[in-house]
Structures are given as structure tokens and as C-alpha cells.
Amino acid sequence: MHRYSSGRLGSSSRIALIANDALGNFAISSPIAQILREMHRPARLDGFTGSRVMEIAEECPWFDEVIAVYGDSPRAVSRKLLDRPEYDLVINVENAAWAKSLTSILAGENGMVIGPCANSDGRGDFPFENNPEGRLWADPKWTREDLRIDYPFLSTGHIAEIVARCCYWDGPIPAYHLPKHDPNRDIPDVLMATTASLPEKLWPIENWLELAHLIADSGRTMGLLGAKPKDQGKFWKGADDETRLVQEAPVDDLRGELTLPQVVGALDRASLVVTLDNGILHFACSTQTPVVGLFRNGIHRLWAPPVPNLKVIEPGVGGIVADLPVQRVWSAINNFQIQLA
């Protein structure tokens, strides 16, 4: 096993791309997959993700096959992977121990790797190359403001570009591209997503309720996107707040009613999306719909897609998302829509 350091792979080569099945993480793998296809066509490209996104991952045109490696036991996944031939190149965009182990397993003795990877002997991490791309992979502070000063080959600090440059791609970064289906129902004017993976991403329910009433008073209808209520609490924070929102405000409950490709279709049809920093935000940024996103300070530099239809609201240095005032978000919604009109 060794580090890839540029060059086109042969036509019969096999490439693996690992991204976990959090919706946002899977969305940021979309530009990377497009780049790998462009760089190494017609090599085979397989996607390794999890059960939460399989219904959309299997429709992505750049993957020859999609294999679930999240959502089952490590023992069962390992048996499944060991039956596959080694890959010529494995790209891992995750820093978790499981993803690093998968990278080493898929590359085997002779494959090349990009991104975090466990040593082939199981002892520690496989070191990055001592070049600008390797140093960027190893840099623990991707959210810092001066990142692009230290790595001038970056035009933005967005995570998709960081990974793309670390794959030795020097061209434009493709936009998110996700399969989109007709939702087969009327879609409200404004779609909201109020849950997230971490409690520090959340905005108080009282604020969501106040904002919902302001939107309703402006004559616009609203809908709430998310997982089925019985599943929401398994992976995301804020499920109880969702229940209050649909009970106490004129918000159509769309949670669990749509497939993921239909969610993309619904977001594309809406007039506005208001959301936390979560997977729905990234799905919405694959469309042209105006998106107002609430981010943690610093994290916005890494995770906010650099697209014109996204308005980032963040609390500033030392602030927290929970302290963002409703009026600031409401003003941003109205001014942003006027600006994009």
C-alpha cells in the first residue's frame, strides 16, 4: 500500500470512494466522484457509504456500484469486503477509525490511497506525504480563517475543494449533483429543517415558532422536512422541537413522506429553504432555490457550500447558533430573496 501522488490510472483500474451516510457528508462526495470520473475515465468507480443514503446513492450516475459499509456490523462488512479484489486507488473523505480501516482493507497490499488510512499492520495511521497536499490532509484546523494563506492552491475553504485539491485536481470544482425525483404532491412555499447531528447546531424552538408565524403572516405556506418521527431521534438532535413546531405553527409535516430523491425534487420546487447546517442544507444547495442556513462560526468556512443561492447566518466569533436573533434571520430572508429576484 502506498500514497497516490498524481497521474492517470489505466482503463481497467478500480477506484473506491468512501463517504459515510450522513446526508451532508454524502453530498460533499458528489463533486469528488465527478472529479474522479473526469481524471480516471474509464476506470471503474465504486461508492462505499451506508444504508441511510442508498436510495439516492444507487442512482448517482458516476458510481458503477454502491456498497453499504455503515449500518451493519463491522464483522459482516469485513466479510463482504474481503471477498472483493483489491482496489487500485481508494479515496477516503472521513476521519473516523472505521473509515481508515476500510481504506486499508480495500487497498490491500498493492493499492494506492488518498486521505486518512490505517497502517497495513494495524498500528496507527498511514502517514501522509510530505508535500503541500499531504500537509493539508494532516492539518487539524481546516476551519481557520487563514487556511488559504498557508495553502494558496485553494480558492475557497469549502471541504469539497479541500478534498479535491488533495486528490491532485487543479480544475474547477463541480457543483453538487444529486438525483432528483418528482415529489408527486404540492410543495409549500418555504421548507424548513430544524434538526442536526450536534446540539450546538440547534436553534431554540421558540425562535423557530416565532419565525414560522412571521412567514405565515407574510402569506407563505410552510413545510417541515426530516426523517420519520420514530427514526429522527436515532441520529439527530431536536426531534422533540419538530413535534412542537408542527403542533403549534401552520407547518405541513413532510417528515418521512418523501424518498431522498423526492426531497431534492421538493427543495427544487420550493421558493425558499430555511435550515440549520445539516444534510437538507446540502441537498438544497444542489438546486437553485434560495437557502438561508444557520451555521456555527468558523464551521461555516468549511461546510457552507460556496454557491450564490446560499445565505450564511452565523453568530460571529465567540457566539453560538442558539443566540442568533429571530429578527436577524427574518431580515436576511427578505433581503436575500430581494437580492436574488
209-224 confidence digits (pLDDT tens): 999 999 999 999 999 9
Average pLDDT over residues 99-110: 96
Q: What proportion of the chain, given as a percentage, has pLDDT over 70?
A: 97
294 DSSP β-pair partners: 276, 313
CB-CB contact of 113 with 89 (8 Å): yes
Q: What is the pLDDT of residue 341?
A: 54
Alpha carbons 72 and 77: distance in angstroms, whole number: 7
Please, what's the b/e burial string for 10-46 (b: 16 or more CB within 10 A of its CB; e: otherwise)? eeebbbbbbbbbbbbbbbbbbbbbbbbbebbeebbbb
What cell numbers appear for 270 in the block? 420550493
Query: Nearest to residue 99, comparing CAs of 88, 86, 112, 113?
Result: 113
CB-CB contact of 119 with 9 (8 Å): no
CB-CB contact of 324 with 313 (8 Å): yes
Type of residue numbered 96:
A
Alpha carbons 34 and 275: distance in angstroms, whole number: 26
CB-CB contact of 20 with 26 (8 Å): yes
Q: What is the pLDDT of residue 233?
A: 65
Going by pLDDT thresholds of 50, 70 and 90, the confidence category of residue 336 is: confident
Average pLDDT over residues 11-31: 95
CB-CB contact of 308 with 188 (8 Å): no
Chain mean pLDDT for the chain: 94
Q: What is the pLDDT of residue 235?
A: 67
pLDDT digits (tens, 9 = 90+) for 265-305: 999 999 999 999 999 999 999 999 999 999 999 999 999 99
Of 136 and 337, the structure prediction assigns the larger pLDDT to 136
Domains in the chain (CATH in brackets) are 2-166 (3.40.50.720), 190-340 (3.40.50.2000)
Q: What is the pLDDT of residue 301?
A: 97
CB-CB contact of 29 with 57 (8 Å): no
